[in-house]
Amino acid sequence: MATRVTMTDIARAAGVSLMTVSRVVNNKDDVSKGTRLRVQEVIDSLGYRPSGIARGLVTQHTSTLGLVVPDIDNPFFSGVVRGAENTAYAEGYSVFLGNTNEDPERELALLRSLDEKLVDGAILCSSRLDDESLVREISRFPTAVLISRQVHNDGTGVLVIDDEAGGRLATEHLLGSGHCRIGIISGPPISFSSQHRLAGYRAALQAAGLPINPAWVRHCKPVVENGYQAAVELLRDCPELTALVCHNDMVAFGALQACAELGRSVPQDVAVVGYDDVPMAALVSPPLTTIKVSPHAIGSQAMRMLLERIHEGGSAHARFVMPVEIVIRESAP
């Protein structure tokens, strides 16, 4: 490829100074109509495009944002990405996407690289970092928004899903259907959403005057395969269970698979509740009862918070709690 056309090239070709070109490129108004037209013509005919990095070097902002998610294969997170990218695009920002694969090392490396790219801000989804590393890294960004993770740091916005309510709702629904031996396949213990959903589960049981049996609680990586594995083990070790609350829909899909293979029919033998209401939840067999949260809404709300903070500084919304609801389908009627 040939070398890039620069502003100097345009200035020379149009017979004006660099500054004049800069002004028309940036739509400043101190340029006469005639000059502007002439310069614009040269720009178009030479196919000039401004260099974002040269511009960024002087302005100290890049119109560039970071978005870090744990698992883009999970429709929930790809939905968040979609929502976030969509509103970023509408505001003229580009977004770097990083997939941590649930690996804190990689998350750290990703954040470091975003920092070196001089992003104007970053959204971190379900960070798996310990508090200290997290605060250290995000405080390097001009501003940041955390999804499903809290931390004390000025300049950081927080968007949380009402996970305790979600865990409670799921459990209460099962309780209401007469179940009293309810197991839970929880996510990684380090994940805050896991902790909160689990807390909701416990709260609902306690409120119903039921004991909490630690053997009925299992943790797994929130992907289909691990959900399947965990369900197989849990149902084998605790055959008395008649219902399963799952950390998310992926885990629930795994659990559904496990039940099918173990010959336990759903919902007759085991009722299953998921979390997230991913598009496929309505399409599996049986259709999944689940806690509904809109990933698009979360992504775009988080992005709105981020942009607000970038533009308005400290005055912006610091915390947003995303409500959840239960969608009742056949896996737990």
DSSP three-state, residue 170: helix
Gap between the Cα atoms of 24 and 234, Å rounded: 67
Question: Distance between CA atoms of 169 and 315, rounded to whole angstroms?
Answer: 34
> Is the Cβ of residue 29 or residue 132 nearer to DNA in the bound state?
29
Per-residue contact flags (x/-) with DNA for residues 304 to 333, judged by CB under 7 A: ------------------------------
Contact 173, 332 (CB under 8 A): yes
Q: Which residue has the tokens 């695009």?
A: 89
Residues in 44-63 at the binding interface with its own copies, rule: CB under 8 A: 47, 49-54, 56-57, 62
Region binding its own copies by CB under 8 A among candidate stretches 28-36, 127-135, 267-275, 282-290: 282-290
Among the listed residues 38, 106, 292, 317, the single contact to its own copies using CB under 8 A: 106
Q: How far is the CB of 253 from its own copies (least distance, A)?
A: 5
| Residue 210-229 contact track with its own copies, rule CB under 8 A, x = bound | --------------x-----
Q: What 3-state class would DSSP assign to 172?
A: helix
State the virtual CA torsion across 188, 194, 199, 204 in degrees, nearest 10. Answer: -110
Is residue 15 close enough to count as binding its own copies by CB under 8 A? no
Kindly indicate which of the ranges 15-23, 80-88, 208-216, 261-269 contains the residues binding its own copies, using the contact rule CB under 8 A.
80-88
CB 78 within 8 A of CB 106: no
Other Cβ atoms within 10 Å of 28 Cβ, number: 12
Question: According to CB under 8 A, which one of 43, 114, 243, 266 is a site residue for its own copies?
Answer: 114
Dist. CA 62–CA 48, nearest whole Å: 19
User: What is the sign of the dihedral through the CA atoms of 39, 45, 51 and 54?
Assistant: negative
Select the span of 21-29, 172-180, 221-229, 269-277 touching DNA (CB under 7 A): 21-29
Our finding on whether 20 is near DNA (CB under 7 A) is: yes
Q: Which residues pair with 122 in a beta bridge?
A: 66, 144
Strands 325-327 and 289-292: antiparallel
List residues near DNA by CB under 7 A: 3-4, 6-8, 16-20, 22-23, 25-26, 30-36, 48, 50-51, 54-55, 57-60
List residues near its own copies by CB under 8 A: 1, 47, 49-54, 56-57, 62, 64, 67, 72-73, 75, 78-79, 81-82, 85-86, 89, 92, 94-99, 101, 106, 109-110, 112-118, 139-143, 155, 224, 253, 256-257, 279-280, 283-286
